[in-house]
Amino acid sequence: MIFRQLFDRKSSTFTYLLAERSGGEALLIDPVQENTEQYVRLIEQLDLKLVLAVDSHIHADHVTALGALRERTDCASAMGAMTKAECVSVWFNEGDKLCVDKLQLDVLYTPGHTSDSYSFRLADRVFTGDTLLIRGTGRTDFQNGDAAAQYDSLFGKLLKLPDATLVYPAHDYNGMSVSTIGEEKRHNPRLQIADKQAYIELMNGLVLEDPQLMDVAVPGNRRCGLKAAA
Ligand code: FE
């Protein structure tokens, strides 16, 4: 398997490039618009063909590259069925599989950070979007965020994966790049709570500023980062 974890310094976003083999198909998870040329170059250098670009949810902190990549490479752009984005060409649901050659990612619907948050599981790893971060969880105070739904996504789905499953989040602000489900169960402070009510109180008690790009990124990302028609 070909696997690359790319990092956008400005928004602290991780983008993941996946392919089964050199010369084959590639998939990008959570690409950032400013880095489109870097992705296109890397995909060429690795002798891959981009067939699918996926966002785990509508991001509030950066503009997605889904539209730019579709224009550059003719790839399909995919988001969850819950996402209100008209520019998407493939919608996925819980239980669907995203395929590139023989790689198959299982789609898990994991709402809470937003109502359109999804995670993707591939064999020994899971891409958790902003649902489960390393030693943290995604905020639940805007974009139809819901701490109760996030508790269910975490404790009912992601934390039920085997402890050795590698956790690759959509962001990290502390210099971490990968964790495991077992490590997060033991050491993630947001997960050391007695019950759902305690999690709701913990999340609702957080006082957070809106992301700087939110007013630009959210409407822009509903168009896959492409400009509005004049
Ligand atoms: Fe987010």
Residue 25's pLDDT is: 98
Longest CA span, the chain: 52
Q: E-strand spans in the chain?
A: 2-8, 13-19, 25-29, 49-54, 76-80, 90-92, 97-100, 103-109, 118-122, 125-129, 132-133, 136-137, 166-169, 179-180
In a domain, 159, yes or no: yes
In a domain, 223, yes or no: no
Residue 85's pLDDT is: 80
In a domain, 166, yes or no: yes
In a domain, 18, yes or no: yes
Residue 107's pLDDT is: 98
| Ligand 1 geometric centre to CA of 192 (Å) | 22
In a domain, 227, yes or no: no
| Ligand 1 geometric centre to CA of 165 (Å) | 22
| Average pLDDT score over residue span 124-149 | 96
Question: What's the whole-number average pLDDT of the chain?
Answer: 95
CB-neighbour burial class of residue 53 (10 A; exposed 0-12, middle 13-18, buried 19+): buried
C-alpha radius of gyration, the chain, whole number: 17
Quote the domain boundaries for residue 174.
Answer: 2-208
| Average pLDDT score over residue span 30-51 | 98
Nearest Cα residue to 46 out of 1, 100, 105: 1
| pLDDT tier at 163, thresholds 50, 70, 90 | very high
Residue 87's pLDDT is: 80
Say yes or no to pLDDT of 230 above 60. Answer: no
Nearest Cα residue to 168 out of 18, 11, 16, 1: 16
| Ligand 1 geometric centre to CA of 64 (Å) | 11
Say yes or no to pLDDT of 182 above 60. Answer: yes
In a domain, 216, yes or no: no
Say yes or no to pLDDT of 111 above 80. Answer: yes
Say yes or no to pLDDT of 104 above 60. Answer: yes
| Ligand 1 geometric centre to CA of 130 (Å) | 5
| pLDDT tier at 229, thresholds 50, 70, 90 | low
pLDDT in tens, 186-218: 999 999 999 999 999 999 999 888 888 888 899
- Separation between Cα atoms, residue 18 and residue 49, nearest integer Å: 11
Residue 227's pLDDT is: 81
- Separation between Cα atoms, residue 179 and residue 190, nearest integer Å: 15
In a domain, 127, yes or no: yes
| Ligand 1 geometric centre to CA of 47 (Å) | 31
Say yes or no to pLDDT of 91 above 90. Answer: yes
Rounded to 5 degrees, φ, ψ at 59 are: -80, 145
| Ligand 1 geometric centre to CA of 170 (Å) | 8
Nearest Cα residue to 188 out of 155, 143, 142, 216: 155
Structural domains counted in the chain? 1
Are the beta carbons of 73 and 134 closer than 8 angstroms?
no
Neighbour count for residue 170 (Cβ, 10 Å) = 29
| Ligand 1 geometric centre to CA of 59 (Å) | 5
CATH number at 75 reads 3.60.15.10
Name the percent of the chain in helix, strand, coil, to the closest 5.
25, 30, 45
| Ligand 1 geometric centre to CA of 171 (Å) | 8
In a domain, 162, yes or no: yes
pLDDT in tens, 41-86: 999 999 999 999 999 999 999 999 999 999 999 999 999 998 878 7
Are the beta carbons of 176 and 188 closer than 8 angstroms?
no
